[in-house]
Structure 1
Amino acid sequence: MICFPNAKINLGLNVTEKRRDGYHNIETIFYPIPVKDALEIVPAREFSFSQTGIAIDGPAEKNLVMKAVNLMKEHFDIPPLDIHLLKAIPFGAGLGGGSADAAFMLKLLNDFCSLGQNEKELEALAASIGADCPFFIRNKPVFASGTGNIFTPVNVSLTGYMLCLVKPDIAVSTPEAYSLVKPAFPETGVKEIISRPVSEWRELLVNDFEESVFARHPRIEQIKTTMYKTGAAYAAMSGSGSSVFGLFEKPVSLKENFPDCYVWEGNLP
């Protein structure tokens, strides 16, 4: 059985306050995009995990896919499986690829083993893996608050827009990015802004990480600037970076502009 975990982008991201536990509360919109990995399981005599595509550092047991498998094994009788992950979503990009892989593994095992878990029960399991993992269970646009773990359905559609996603060969430390942000509640919340036409987002919808990340990595800011120069209706960094996305009303091809970067271009469903 095979499935195709997809990435997400952040439409706006406000770091609103620092919590007593050291984490931060945020407000953002998680929006699914059709940039996908492939995840396959087949019956086997013993558990095994292999991975191809974009190389991932670290041992297999640290991979979020195996964390999801081991979590399910704690609660259910899971038969031995040969598990293969074809990695195509860039990691360290603010796209949630690892979280998507883990959440889709939970759903895959639920279907393959006929476990009968509903979406709410799968979300509870996913929450123990990572804050944004539960989002990928329902995989629909949501307003995310708390640490990015409290979801409220939101009515936003980017159908018909072309998405250009660019990730430079730059690593951004998420803890460092948070440490450089001054938390504050915005004058206008992201839910109100995204209800307006996309053409108005440029001046209103912000990612609080951009200021400090751009100061340390001008290349990322340059990518955003290039997208606007080539006609993007809206462009922004996703999460704490390092990927930048642009929404275009007309087809474009920017691959020649970013020969040293990962580039994905396609229409949003």
Structure 2
Amino acid sequence: MAVIETAWAKLNLALHVRRRETDGYHALETLFAFTEFGDTLAVAESEALTLCVSGEFAGAAGDGEENLVLRAARALESGRGAALRLEKRIPVAAGLGGGSADAAAALRLLNRHWGLGRSVAELEAIGATLGADVAACVRGVTVRGEGRGEVLTPVSAVTGVPVLLVNPRVAVATGPVFRAWDGVDRGALPAGETLAVAKAARNDLEGPAVGMAPAIAEVLAWLRGLAGVQLARMSGSGATCFALFGDEGAAVRAGAGVPGGWWGCVTRLRP
């Protein structure tokens, strides 16, 4: 029987870019949150290490050697086989950390399946070698991220907050968006209760992303005009945007009205 792990979609409730480092990376401060929605990864016994990808966004994700699920499996250095099956529900290149979430799910799942006994801290350290967001995705709970996003600090939970995710079905590559950032440090992420901090904060990549994909501005304008919205913002480097609601009914009604041609999902935030 296959064992299943969820790869929870990641949100950046806030993302402050502080400076561009000499190695081309960026120092940032962010609030990571995770939704109940995500990809699913299953494992079954096999002598070889294999991956099969299905689902709406399988074609964009691919199942080749560079898929982060296979890279995560190899990073565990067990030398064992496993038949992995990924159902790809999170849009690709969308600011939801889909590949990072998949890698994190693979680390958690195979650590159990192979009986490796690695601690969460050890899995996070391995995850950090695969991508800046993978360590946070291993933990899968609301945290503050600094450095490149891999230095994590616990913050107050946001459990159960209704959220609508909307993507205009435009893929946005992370690298070009970061390179288009204007280099202006607009200030630190404040301390305090998570949702209050998020509302007082910003996403410094919204401007560059909108410049590359103007449809993001259309999504944000639509979300911000909905009844019951507490916060609407772009996640990560885009193009997915989110709206937080005060009650689930408002989120469901909004989700039913997502314009044709856009991708939408009503879900809730995890702890």
**Quick check: 2:53–2:63 contact (8 Å CA) kept in 1?**
no
**Quick check: 1:27–1:190 contact (8 Å CA) kept in 2?**
no
Q: Structure 1: how far apart are the matches of 2:68 and 2:214? A: 31
Tell me, yes or no, if structure 1 residue 26 matches structure 2 residue 28: yes
Change (3 A) 1:219 1:120: same
Deviation at 1:177, TM superposition (A): 1.1
**Secondary structure of 1:13 counterpart:** strand
Q: Which residue in the other structure is 1:112 paired with?
A: 113
**Quick check: 2:21–2:27 contact (8 Å CA) kept in 1?**
yes
Q: Which residue in the other structure is 1:162 paired with?
A: 162
Runs of 5+ consecutive residues of structure 2 not aligned to the other structure: none
Deviation at 1:214, TM superposition (A): 2.0
Q: Structure 2: how far apart are the matches of 1:171 and 1:206? A: 21
Q: Structure 2: how far apart are the matches of 1:87 and 1:160? A: 23
Q: Structure 2: how far apart are the matches of 1:266 and 1:39? A: 19
Q: Which residue in the other structure is 2:206 paired with?
A: 210
Change (3 A) 1:93 1:182: same
Q: Which residue in the other structure is 1:97 paired with?
A: 98
**Secondary structure of 1:60 counterpart:** coil
Tell me, yes or no, if structure 1 residue 244 matches structure 2 residue 245: no
**Secondary structure of 1:82 counterpart:** strand
**Quick check: 2:103–2:127 contact (8 Å CA) kept in 1?**
yes
1:2-151 matches, within 5 Å, as 2-53=4-55, 54-57=57-60, 58=62, 60-72=64-76, 74=77, 76-78=78-80, 80-151=81-152
Q: Structure 1: how far apart are the matches of 2:24 and 2:209? A: 20
Aligned partner letter, 1:29: L
Deviation at 1:10, TM superposition (A): 0.3
Aligned partner letter, 1:214: V
Q: Which residue in the other structure is 2:226 paired with?
A: 230
Q: Structure 2: how far apart are the matches of 1:193 and 1:224? A: 24
Q: Structure 2: how far apart are the matches of 1:186 and 1:261? A: 31
Aligned partner letter, 1:235: A
Choose 130-139 or 253-262, whichever is displaced more.
Answer: 253-262
Deviation at 1:111, TM superposition (A): 0.7
Q: Structure 2: how far apart are the matches of 1:110 and 1:257? A: 39
Runs of 5+ consecutive residues of structure 1 not aligned to the other structure: none
CA offsets 1:51-71 (integer angstroms, 9 cap, x no match):
100223445211000101122
Report how many aligned residue pairs link the two structures: 261
Deviation at 1:193, TM superposition (A): 7.5
Change (3 A) 1:174 1:152: same
Aligned partner letter, 1:207: N
**Quick check: 1:162–1:268 contact (8 Å CA) kept in 2?**
yes
1:188-199 matches, within 5 Å, as 189-192=189-192, 194=194, 196=196
Q: TM-score, normalised by structure 1?
A: 0.90
**Quick check: 1:236–1:244 contact (8 Å CA) kept in 2?**
yes
